[in-house]
Amino acid sequence: MNTTAGIEAIKLTRGFNGSQGVIYPTLIWDEGTAILVDTGEPIHLEAIRDAMEQVGVPFVRMNRIILTHQDIDHIGGLPGLVQASAHPVDVMAHEEEKPYIEGLKPLIKLKKELLQEKLNSLPEDQQELRGQIDLLLNHTPGGRVSTVLKDQDVLPYGGGLTVIHTPGHTPGHISLYLGQSKTLIAGDAIMYSEGKLRKPPEQFTPDMEQAIQSILKLAKYDVETLICYHGGVYPGNAKQALAELAAECR
Ligand SMILES: [Zn+2]
């Protein structure tokens, strides 16, 4: 594995809340930095460590975290990751997501009452699931955001990383574009399931009209590799699939 620079979607399984089993944070690294884009949930800490080791980027190198948005399957792992790091981690998110991530505003979609109800109704022998729900209830929200991002910021990592504000799924949702490798990290602005790119699901997307505008915005980029948090790396011609999704949205 080339450890000088790279981009890798990390496959995580066994999530509980909203992640429907499989999610894909992305690791971006070069000589100076290792950035994790989205954190999974609290239970994923060890899996993230293992995945980083496997691509030749030891966990100790991780010095930045970018959060695409506030949903718990994206920020749930943040406190654990920051705590496990031997050095300070620069946590970055869009300015509009910062107050939610820092707990100044309640997360838009996390319904604690529902989680508590679920926990109460689970039999005692479901220890693993009980533990996961308990972690979610007691370890949210994620923690401090040290760097605030806005649309079209270009960060000097991975050969240049453009921040694209893609609201709709949440107000401060961002996607990331790496121009050098023509890689788009869509977050939840675009999902991939059952062989097809899709809009984010209506029930979890408070402003669908904005979400559609965000897809059209992303479709203007020259994309060779598309990584969706839900679905992973698009296996076919990403440019064409993105154009088809945009056409459906128009
Ligand atoms: Zn999500």
pLDDT in tens, the chain (250 residues): 556 899 999 999 866 554 457 999 999 999 989 999 999 988 899 999 999 999 999 999 999 999 999 998 899 899 999 999 999 999 999 999 999 999 888 888 877 777 788 788 888 887 777 877 776 676 555 689 999 999 999 999 999 999 999 999 999 999 999 999 999 999 999 999 999 999 999 989 999 999 999 999 999 999 999 999 999 999 999 999 999 999 999 8
Partners of 226 in the beta sheet?
A: 184
- For the chain, how many helices (H) and strands (E)? 8, 16
Distance 60 CA to ligand 1 centre (A): 26
Give the DSSP per-residue string, 201-238: PGGG-S-HHHHHHHHHHHTTS--SEEEETTTEE--S-H
- pLDDT on residue 19: 46
- pLDDT on residue 118: 78
Tokens of 146: 């040290």
- pLDDT on residue 20: 56
- pLDDT on residue 142: 61
Distance 188 CA to ligand 1 centre (A): 6
- pLDDT on residue 45: 93
- pLDDT on residue 210: 98
- pLDDT on residue 137: 73
Neighbours of ion ligand 1 (CB under 5 A): 71, 73, 188
> Per DSSP, which regions of 30-143 are E strands?
34-37, 62-66, 90-94
Distance 233 CA to ligand 1 centre (A): 15
Distance 230 CA to ligand 1 centre (A): 7
Helix (H) or strand (E) holding 163: strand 161-165
Question: Residue 206 in contact with residue 213, Cβ under 8 Å?
Answer: no
Distance 181 CA to ligand 1 centre (A): 24
- pLDDT on residue 124: 81
Distance 29 CA to ligand 1 centre (A): 22
- pLDDT on residue 18: 46
pTM given for the model:
0.89
- pLDDT on residue 140: 57
Distance 9 CA to ligand 1 centre (A): 14
